[in-house]
Chain A
């Protein structure tokens, strides 16, 4: 009887069932439609709107100077996409939480390469600034599983690119009353068929902003200096035919002081981060295929020091990746995306007993069919994930998309994904647990996009997730150690409205989400730092030819800081107005803005005060316009 409880047997059975169900469903749906289809249909040429093989189901976040002005990518995403960040304050770390999930459940992809941090399993978004990247896209729950393990709650795509033809060169600089200034220089040039772009930026900040402590006394945040130097180089070369080579290098050196929490008198801790990321890509477009071959190498260092406790901890990891993707347009409106990626990690940390090495591989195939009789797209994805010498698991999903007569569509999706334990979870000394299982998730949802009267674009999404084997660190035998303790549930709803007129744009978003653990002493209680309600609105208006006004509003509801809900941070509402002036020839722009104009005193993390009203000015001069 005991084998009933063997996780491997259960896992194999559930995966096998899933594969059967997926294929059987797919066969049923497609066979209904394919019986009368003429097999001699001429294949159409692929129209490449975007060289993104993996998915086209994403939301592009439009960039402008006002967004760049916010410096951090987390600020952009919070304003434009209603994303919640666990934010320790300007210059400090900032981790994303999408759709009520955890930071380790969001994939970050740079130029088609998944940026993995195998030690922490998450990315610090304070190390990416809006001015460093060319485009930003958010992949929703309907189609993010193709990015593999760890993309359960969503995927963020960032790109840097030399662009087509002569790149716009320019210089921008900004200052804020956080005693923060930044400068960014972009140079682009074209030589024969090659395009080049260099972007250099630096930010120096004291972040010694005022805040109110519990007694109402106004103080300045100490020990919060922050600076970084960032360089990007991008290159592309158009080969004969429809082939292209692209290469990118991204180098960053960042330093930050760690401020004390409100109850503490001082903190001498500092953190330095450096990374070099490089990738080369070969793309080939033919009548029926869109090939991408990418190679990537990165090295990342972190040094955390705290003289008070004689701590000088060094952590380093290297990552090599090779991936091949193809989108193949088949007859009869079939299409197949398939490919493979291989990752090799090596990691050295003062908190690991030995250097670590690990190889991972993912192989995927996504078969899609557009039915002819009815406006329906169906697709199914299977993606085995293999960690050599540790585990193997499966990511899979299915999606049905029905196009409505009025231009809207309804998408129904469901699938499975896993979150892999991090190196810290498995190998931290002391307490790491090498026997940890991956967290397993079953997801489902419905998304409805439609147009309301007055050309109001709308989207409603309802989503849910059932998770098992959630990892939690708890004291065990006197030391903290992780284990697969919990079952969890996550569900919610999102609403998005957008209105575009000639001189006026408006975006409004709202999210309600519930995330809780089961079979736990705090069963059904919302997990900590997961706000139930998020709302954001952005309005911009062009007027008087040279001016545009922009205002961002954001609301974040109460966040519990303790799992039994005995303590919480109250909700907060922020307004960020900005005014932009542009010269007649468009070369020169100035943005003046106020962050948190209501001077709301709030905290992102317990006892970590956030800034009150902050004035900012940013200017940009473009050489090439």
Chain B
């Protein structure tokens, strides 16, 4: 199965985009160059320290071969691509290892500029023409004027910041667990009007989350403490983003295990990975599937999950050994494998545009 041919995934991807494709006229000369307006972007962070991060793209007609950034711009993107953000026909490529954000035109993927001056940038969220950039190793969230591409302000969070999202006028972020004993049991919010910082108690060591934008619900995966003495194990904590309150806490029955998660709006469930596969958390019944929806068989290391909103098909990024090409797998909504393809090193995110 490892060598399952790419035809399957291309065919499946064609199905995914069937509703959005228009039939090309036949026999009208040169094919038009591919644009990157519509499709799936995959961020591949690359091997740490080697500057070989890449962006891969699944066009409605199939997977584009190779790194679209280096092909378009004739230069390497950089070291450790952490995330992508798409704002006003531009893509912002957050390159953590090089401490920079590369701005490209989304359609052509031509580089427009670089924004520098960050410490350890992770994620960029836009609000009213400003970009809020989390930094893993410093206490500050940098504020970038997306018109001038310059850092214009910073917000003192008091600790490092990682994942970020915006709901209404509130910026939410997770602070990473500190090494050697310092545990965290809050996520943090910033009022974007006055930059005041607040926090919300969740489970121990929140590490990732998934958002149901349609219902304004945020599902925070807390990995738990190293040793669970009762109520310190892993949890999925449900937060109502309108009220900013925890509405449900679900104990997972284990502790100190990280995960990658995604919200599947097609089936109203949170997908989260564990050592033996990908499980589902039904948000309506607040129950976890007893068996993995997708058992790990040929996947070495699940590094990213995403559910395609329109069809519920599940994409999984396999980082393998982090020093060789990764793989992506596509499953149907019941967890049956549809296709597989080789991809860049350490695929860490899928972005549906």
- Cβ of B257 and Cβ of A265 under 8 Å apart? no
- Measured between beta carbons, the chain A residues less than 8 angstroms from B116 are 265-266
- Cβ of A478 and Cβ of B258 under 8 Å apart? yes
- Point out the residue from B120, B179, B300 that lies within 8 Å of A429, measured CB to CB: B179
State whether the Cβ of A452 lies closer than 8 Å to any Cβ in chain B: no
* Chain A residue nearest to B260 in the complex (CB): A478
Of the candidate stretches B236-244, B283-291, B315-323, the one touching chain A is B315-323
What's the Cα separation between A260 and B324 when bound, in Å?
23
Q: A214-B75, A474-B301, A474-B321 are in contact. Are A261 and B49 (CB under 8 A)?
A: yes
What is the minimal beta-carbon distance from A602 to any residue of chain B, in angstroms?
Answer: 16
- Cβ of B51 and Cβ of A606 under 8 Å apart? yes
State whether the Cβ of A564 lies closer than 8 Å to any Cβ in chain B: yes
* Chain A residue nearest to B303 in the complex (CB): A475
What's the Cα separation between A567 and B50 when bound, in Å?
11
- Cβ of A564 and Cβ of B325 under 8 Å apart? yes
Bits for B202-235, please: 1 = Cβ < 8 Å to A, else 0: 0000010000000000000001000000000000
What's the Cα separation between A548 and B235 when bound, in Å?
75
- Point out the residue from A215, A265, A475 that lies within 8 Å of B114, measured CB to CB: A265
State whether the Cβ of B172 lies closer than 8 Å to any Cβ in chain A: no
- Which residues of chain A in 198-230 are interfacial with respect to chain B, using CB atoms and an 8 Å cutoff? 213-215
- Cβ of A309 and Cβ of B321 under 8 Å apart? no
What's the Cα separation between A106 and B180 when bound, in Å?
32
- Cβ of B137 and Cβ of A564 under 8 Å apart? no
What's the Cα separation between A607 and B52 when bound, in Å?
9
- Which residues of chain A in 458-490 are interfacial with respect to chain B, using CB atoms and an 8 Å cutoff? 472, 474-475, 477-479
What's the Cα separation between A478 and B223 when bound, in Å?
10
- Cβ of A309 and Cβ of B137 under 8 Å apart? yes
Q: A309-B137, A475-B301, A567-B52 are in contact. Are A264 and B179 (CB under 8 A)?
A: no
What is the minimal beta-carbon distance from A71 to any residue of chain B, in angstroms?
Answer: 25
- Point out the residue from B74, B99, B114, B259 that lies within 8 Å of A308, measured CB to CB: B99
- Cβ of A474 and Cβ of B99 under 8 Å apart? no
Bits for A41-67, please: 1 = Cβ < 8 Å to B, else 0: 000000000000000000000000000
State whether the Cβ of A566 lies closer than 8 Å to any Cβ in chain B: yes
What's the Cα separation between A213 and B76 when bound, in Å?
10
- Which of A263, A564, A567, A607 has most B Cβ within 10 Å? A263
State whether the Cβ of B78 lies closer than 8 Å to any Cβ in chain A: yes
Q: A309-B137, A606-B51, A607-B50 are in contact. Are A562 and B325 (CB under 8 A)?
A: yes
What's the Cα separation between A528 and B324 when bound, in Å?
10
- Cβ of B258 and Cβ of A477 under 8 Å apart? yes
What is the minimal beta-carbon distance from A600 to any residue of chain B, in angstroms?
Answer: 20
- Cβ of B51 and Cβ of A308 under 8 Å apart? no
What's the Cα separation between A187 and B166 when bound, in Å?
70
What is the minimal beta-carbon distance from A538 to any residue of chain B, in angstroms?
Answer: 33
Size of interface on A: residues with Cβ below 8 Å to B: 34
- Cβ of A566 and Cβ of B325 under 8 Å apart? yes
What's the Cα separation between A215 and B70 when bound, in Å?
11
- Cβ of A521 and Cβ of B79 under 8 Å apart? no
What's the Cα separation between A264 and B52 when bound, in Å?
11
Q: A562-B325, A564-B324 are in contact. Are A263 and B78 (CB under 8 A)?
A: yes
- Measured between beta carbons, the chain B residues less than 8 angstroms from A308 are 99, 119-120, 137
What is the minimal beta-carbon distance from A561 to any residue of chain B, in angstroms?
Answer: 6
- Point out the residue from B47, B49, B74, B77 that lies within 8 Å of A215, measured CB to CB: B74
State whether the Cβ of A430 lies closer than 8 Å to any Cβ in chain B: yes
- Which of B74, B258, B321 has most A Cβ within 10 Å? B321
- Cβ of A353 and Cβ of B319 under 8 Å apart? no
- Measured between beta carbons, the chain A residues less than 8 angstroms from B259 are 478
- Cβ of B76 and Cβ of A429 under 8 Å apart? no
- Cβ of A266 and Cβ of B99 under 8 Å apart? yes
- Measured between beta carbons, the chain B residues less than 8 angstroms from A561 are 47, 50, 52
State whether the Cβ of B136 lies closer than 8 Å to any Cβ in chain A: yes
State whether the Cβ of B269 lies closer than 8 Å to any Cβ in chain A: no
What's the Cα separation between A340 and B143 when bound, in Å?
63
- Cβ of B137 and Cβ of A606 under 8 Å apart? no
- Measured between beta carbons, the chain B residues less than 8 angstroms from A478 are 207, 223, 257-259
What is the minimal beta-carbon distance from A228 to any residue of chain B, in angstroms?
Answer: 24
Bits for A497-523, please: 1 = Cβ < 8 Å to B, else 0: 000000000000000000000000110
State whether the Cβ of B37 lies closer than 8 Å to any Cβ in chain A: no
- Measured between beta carbons, the chain B residues less than 8 angstroms from A528 are 323
- Cβ of B99 and Cβ of A265 under 8 Å apart? yes
Q: A264-B99, A606-B52 are in contact. Are A562 and B324 (CB under 8 A)?
A: yes
State whether the Cβ of B256 lies closer than 8 Å to any Cβ in chain A: yes
What's the Cα separation between A153 and B310 when bound, in Å?
57
- Measured between beta carbons, the chain A residues less than 8 angstroms from B119 are 308-310
What's the Cα separation between A606 and B181 when bound, in Å?
35
What is the minimal beta-carbon distance from B269 to any residue of chain A, in angstroms?
Answer: 22
What is the minimal beta-carbon distance from A483 to any residue of chain B, in angstroms?
Answer: 12
What is the minimal beta-carbon distance from A591 to any residue of chain B, in angstroms?
Answer: 36
State whether the Cβ of B183 lies closer than 8 Å to any Cβ in chain A: no
- Which residues of chain B in 255-301 are interfacial with respect to chain A, using CB atoms and an 8 Å cutoff? 256-259, 275, 300-301
Bits for B74-110, please: 1 = Cβ < 8 Å to A, else 0: 1111110000000000000001011110000000000
- Cβ of A263 and Cβ of B98 under 8 Å apart? yes
Q: A265-B98, A607-B50 are in contact. Are A309 and B138 (CB under 8 A)?
A: yes
- Which residues of chain A in 294-310 are interfacial with respect to chain B, using CB atoms and an 8 Å cutoff? 308-310
- Measured between beta carbons, the chain A residues less than 8 angstroms from B9 are none
- Measured between beta carbons, the chain B residues less than 8 angstroms from A430 are 179-180
State whether the Cβ of B164 lies closer than 8 Å to any Cβ in chain A: no
- Cβ of B52 and Cβ of A429 under 8 Å apart? no
What is the minimal beta-carbon distance from B166 to any residue of chain A, in angstroms?
Answer: 25
What's the Cα separation between A260 and B138 when bound, in Å?
20
- Cβ of B323 and Cβ of A475 under 8 Å apart? no
- Cβ of A262 and Cβ of B120 under 8 Å apart? no
What's the Cα separation between A226 and B272 when bound, in Å?
48
State whether the Cβ of A563 lies closer than 8 Å to any Cβ in chain B: yes
State whether the Cβ of A597 lies closer than 8 Å to any Cβ in chain B: no
- Cβ of A214 and Cβ of B76 under 8 Å apart? yes
What's the Cα separation between A472 and B257 when bound, in Å?
21
* Chain A residue nearest to B346 in the complex (CB): A475
- Measured between beta carbons, the chain B residues less than 8 angstroms from A562 are 47, 52, 323-325, 345
Q: List 7 A-B contacts (CB under 8 A).
A: A263-B76, A263-B95, A265-B100, A309-B138, A477-B275, A521-B324, A563-B324
- 9 more CB-based (< 8 A) A-B contacts, given A263-B95, A310-B138: A214-B76, A264-B79, A266-B99, A266-B116, A310-B119, A429-B180, A562-B345, A606-B51, A607-B76
Q: Which 4 A-B pairs have the closest CB atoms?
A: A478-B258, A564-B324, A309-B137, A263-B78
List A residues at the B interface (Cβ < 8 Å): 213-215, 260-266, 308-311, 353, 429-430, 472, 474-475, 477-479, 521-522, 528, 561-564, 566-567, 606-607
